[in-house]
């Protein structure tokens, strides 16, 4: 196992928890924890002179800077780290890091392992442009780290660590939501998903073709469609139709509008075509969906 602790002298308000070996063996075998579980976690406030170097790293590590700054090296690559940024250090990646000598960082961190831990780390790296993720000082993320730190007070009870294991998996999933997927284009600009999705939301009531969506970000429809799918896993028109069907579900849930009226509200003149499309995506017809609501 990698050295989890840097050995930095812990102040009174600091936190460092290392999961003992006997508990790691239990977590690695238990069906409710084996996918993702903590090997250690901590909180280092104003961590002057904090530094660490690992030539062999055989787990996954996430570091969240909440104040101050520092820097990291992954192989020969140098990365500054500032407040509101996460640093991903995946298994197998040699690295070193240190706090700024003039404005030392405040950090939360956790090491983790498990059957799905590498998949989780890979997913975050796919969404990011490198090992540093710009999350901002998200209130939920700060609260989640604080909750994780408090779990050390529960001792080595298994239920405490079943919760901790699922908590860090949820945190990793949340990070994937808050970092905005971006794709750099040849022009040097980025594909603006927020603008694209706002355009889709504003046009749920009508037809929106690929040319119009692509023009909103000044790309050809072929280049745009390819880049959009790289980021989202769906074609732009697929996503637009999914948004329409989500809105159709909402209308069927909260209103007494007929299926024909719901279809027309979403730009479908042919209610039968709308129903077939709804059934294909949701697996049930609009009338079946509405009937199920009242069961």
What residue segments make up the domains of the chain, in order of their start?
A: 15-178, 193-293
Grade residue 126 by pLDDT with cuts at 50, 70 and 90: confident
> Domain 15-178's class?
mainly beta
> Domain 193-293's class?
mainly alpha
Calpha distance 15→5 (Å, rounded): 11
pLDDT digits (tens, 9 = 90+) for 252-265: 998 999 999 999 99
Number of Cβ within 10 Å of residue 46's Cβ equals 16
Q: Which residues of 187-214 are buried (b: 16+ CB within 10 A; e: fewer)?
A: eeeebebeebeebbeebbeeebebeebb
Say what the pTM is: 0.73
Q: What angle do helix axes 158-178 and 21-29 make, rounded to 10 degrees?
A: 70
Of 75-89, 94-108, 127-141, the range with the lowest mean pLDDT is: 127-141
Q: Which residues pair with 150 in a beta bridge?
A: none
Instruction: Say yes or no to pLDDT of 74 above 80.
Output: yes
Calpha distance 111→117 (Å, rounded): 10
Number of Cβ within 10 Å of residue 274's Cβ equals 22
pLDDT digits (tens, 9 = 90+) for 200-245: 999 999 999 999 999 988 889 998 998 888 878 889 999 999 999 9
The helix (run of H) or strand (run of E) holding residue 280 is helix 271-282
Q: Give the per-residue pLDDT at 56.
A: 86
pLDDT digits (tens, 9 = 90+) for 21-67: 999 999 999 999 999 999 999 999 999 999 999 988 899 999 999 99
Calpha distance 91→106 (Å, rounded): 23
97 to each of 46, 50, 81, how far by Cα in Å? 15, 8, 10
pLDDT digits (tens, 9 = 90+) for 160-197: 999 999 999 999 999 988 876 665 565 556 677 888 98
Q: Give the per-residue pLDDT at 57.
A: 87
Contacts of 82 (CB under 8 A, 6+ apart): 65, 69
Q: Which residues of 66-98 are buried (b: 16+ CB within 10 A; e: fewer)?
A: bbbbbbbebeeeebebbebbbbbbbeeeebebb
58 to each of 55, 91, 165, 167, how far by Cα in Å? 10, 5, 18, 22
CA 97 to chain centre: 23
Instruction: Say yes or no to pLDDT of 125 above 90.
Output: no
């Amino acid at each position: 196992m990698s050295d989890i602790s840097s050995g930095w002298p812990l102040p009174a308000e600091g936190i460092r928890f290392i999961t003992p070996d006997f508990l790691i063996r239990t977590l690695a075998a238990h069906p409710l924890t084996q996918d993702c579980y903590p090997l250690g976690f901590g909180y280092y406030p104003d961590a002057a002179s904090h530094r660490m170097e690992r030539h062999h790293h055989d787990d996954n590590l996430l570091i969240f800077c909440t104040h101050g700054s520092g820097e990291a090296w992954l192989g020969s690559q140098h990365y500054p780290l500032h407040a509101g940024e996460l640093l991903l250090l995946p298994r197998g990646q040699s690295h070193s890091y240190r706090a700024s000598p003039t404005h030392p960082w405040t950090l939360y961190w956790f090491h983790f392992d498990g059957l799905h831990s590498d998949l989780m780390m890979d997913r975050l790296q796919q969404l990011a442009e490198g090992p540093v993720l710009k999350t901002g000082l998200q209130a939920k993320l700060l609260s989640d780290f604080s909750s994780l730190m408090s779990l050390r007070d529960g001792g080595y009870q298994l239920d405490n660590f079943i919760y901790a294991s699922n908590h860090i998996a949820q945190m990793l999933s949340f990070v994937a939501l808050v970092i905005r997927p971006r794709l750099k284009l040849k022009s040097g600009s980025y594909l603006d998903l927020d603008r694209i999705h706002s355009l889709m939301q504003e046009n749920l009531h009508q037809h929106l073709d690929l040319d119009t969506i692509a023009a909103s970000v000044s790309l050809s429809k072929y280049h745009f469609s390819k880049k959009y799918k790289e980021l989202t896993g769906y074609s732009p028109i697929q996503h637009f139709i999914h948004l329409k069907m989500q809105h159709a579900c909402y209308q069927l849930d909260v209103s007494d509008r007929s299926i024909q009226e719901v279809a027309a509200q979403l730009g479908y003149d042919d209610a039968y075509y709308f129903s077939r499309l709804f059934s294909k995506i949701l697996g049930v017809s609009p009338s079946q969906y509405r009937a199920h609501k009242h069961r």
